[in-house]
Amino acid sequence: MKPCLSVLLAGVIAATFATTAAAMPAAAAVEQVPGVYPMDCAKWKDKARCAALNRDIKACKDKTDDEWRECMRQPAPTAKFTPPKPRDCSTARNKERCEAHTSALEACKDKLTRAEHRKCIAGQLQAQAPKKN
């Protein structure tokens, strides 16, 4: 009696799964460590940023997957930003525009980053702009 090809194929597949299943417990015993290691800061231009990343990597070493991503998503340190001082509108060619800009600067003086400040100023100026028909 000739063995059927599908029976042979099923036997090969079963042997493969049995071998894989036997090898899995040994692999599961190995400690899973995230693939990120501290960086060498000697080659970095921004040494403070490199040191901060290395501290974050150490702090998040025991976390995996989404927990690790959330732990590493610390806000980047921002440079100090001082908002511009209002202009003297008495000598301005367009006094309405100058006064609108000055009031927008006053409303946005509490913004800490340049991007926040620019977004706030743009919103203030857009809200104050007269609608043309």
Find out whether 41 and 21 touch, Cβ atoms under 8 Å.
Answer: no
Domain co-membership, 73 together with 98:
no
Domain count of the fold of the chain? 2
Q: What pLDDT was estimated at residue 26? A: 47
Structural domain boundaries enclosing 40: 35-77
Q: Encode the chain (133 residues) as per-residue pLDDT tens digits.
A: 455 666 666 766 766 666 555 555 544 444 444 467 788 888 888 888 888 888 888 888 888 888 888 887 766 656 677 888 888 899 999 999 899 999 999 999 888 888 889 999 999 888 877 665 5
Domain co-membership, 71 together with 94:
no
Measured over the CA atoms of residue 62, residue 65, residue 66 and residue 71, the dihedral's sign is: positive
For 56, 103, 111, 117, the CA distances from 129, given in Å and listed in that order, are: 45, 12, 21, 18
Asked, for residue 133, whether it belongs to a domain, the answer is: no
Whether the model clears a pTM of 0.85, i.e. scores above it, the answer is: no
Q: What pLDDT was estimated at residue 27? A: 45
